[in-house]
Amino acid sequence: MSLYDALRPLLFRMDAESAHHFALGALETAPAPFLRLAFGAAPALPREVAGLRFPNPVGLAAGMDKNAVALPAWEALGFGFVEVGTITARAQPGNPRPRLFRYPELGALINRMGFNNDGADAVAARLAHLKSSGHWPRIPVGVNLGKSKVTELADAPADYLHSYRALLPFGDYFVINVSSPNTPGLRELQEKDALAGIVRTLRDHDAAKPLFVKIAPDLTAPQLDAILELTAAENLSGLIATNTTLDHSVIPAGRDETGGLSGTPLRDRANEVLRHLRAGTDRPIIASGGIMDGPAARERLAAGASLVQVYTGFVYRGPGLLREITKEVGQN
């Protein structure tokens, strides 16, 4: 039995968000050598994507470490990269609790967090302190950017730019998140002209860092094709597919909650989106959504993903999931 297997019953007796904060607090304070000893090193499976070297293809998706408080721990646990955020220009509390719900029998979560975070300037100060301390991780760090809830859609480019400027010294790559279902109107920014305005604003400020766009699984084929056209026209580094879904058809009657669904029920649709995108571009695609075990990760990489990210799988499986994925991928 792994350490996580022993701790999971305690964590799952808490409500989902309290367990999240408890685990994050433990990782923030745990010494990296202890984590390496407790969970073991992940096998080295290096890949180069978008000009960055990844020690293995398994990353932590945005949403787990919104405020970048535990970066050394993610490296110590064996992740090949970590994506912090979503971070907005203004600090915001997010939606009222409860806002995170488990469905263990489905291997699923629903969240309506609403981009709760400390704001770009506060996170930048935290990252500056970490960098000066000498404990900066040796794995790539991605920064996921979202729109502040109070910002009008027409002002979104300037809102994203504020965060981009503040965090530019710290991210190895950046992600424009226009696909969360939990900020009113945000998904409208996936439309080609609106998204192009954000991309150009960030590129005009600094075009040196790889820039990705994270998309929803609920887009139609024509909408995906428009994203592909924009990817080529604006020279995006790549795409992240996918965010959570609004399709809750698998949730039992009487137990549904508003928000984005993640985990096992998302697997098939996320694969469909990945295959559609891969047929239309040779740029890197980071696969996310429904990667709960080694075969699911191998499936995504075989379908053309450059890297994979986990979130819900990590909640249910813990660090053992990383070892399972790297072993599965390393054997194929």
Catalytic residues: 180
Contact (CB, 8 A) for 124 and 34: no
Type of residue at 24:
L
- The two structure tokens encoding residue 89: 């220009």
d(CA 227, CA 166): 27
Which value, in Å, is the radius of gyration of the alpha carbons in the chain?
A: 18
Contact (CB, 8 A) for 270 and 217: yes
Any idea how long the chain is?
332
Q: Provide the 3-class DSSP secondary structure of residue 331.
A: coil
H helix and E strand count, the chain: 12, 13
* Residue 133 CB-half CA count within 13 A: 11
d(CA 281, CA 302): 15
Cis before 242 (ω within 30) = yes
Number of neighbours of residue 103 by Cβ within 10 angstroms: 20
Question: Closest Cα partner for 76 from 136, 150, 16?
Answer: 136
How far, CA to CA in Å, does 310 sit from each of 70, 89, 178, 314? 16, 25, 19, 6
Q: Provide the 3-class DSSP secondary structure of residue 93.
A: coil
Residue 174: alpha-carbon gap to chain centroid: 11
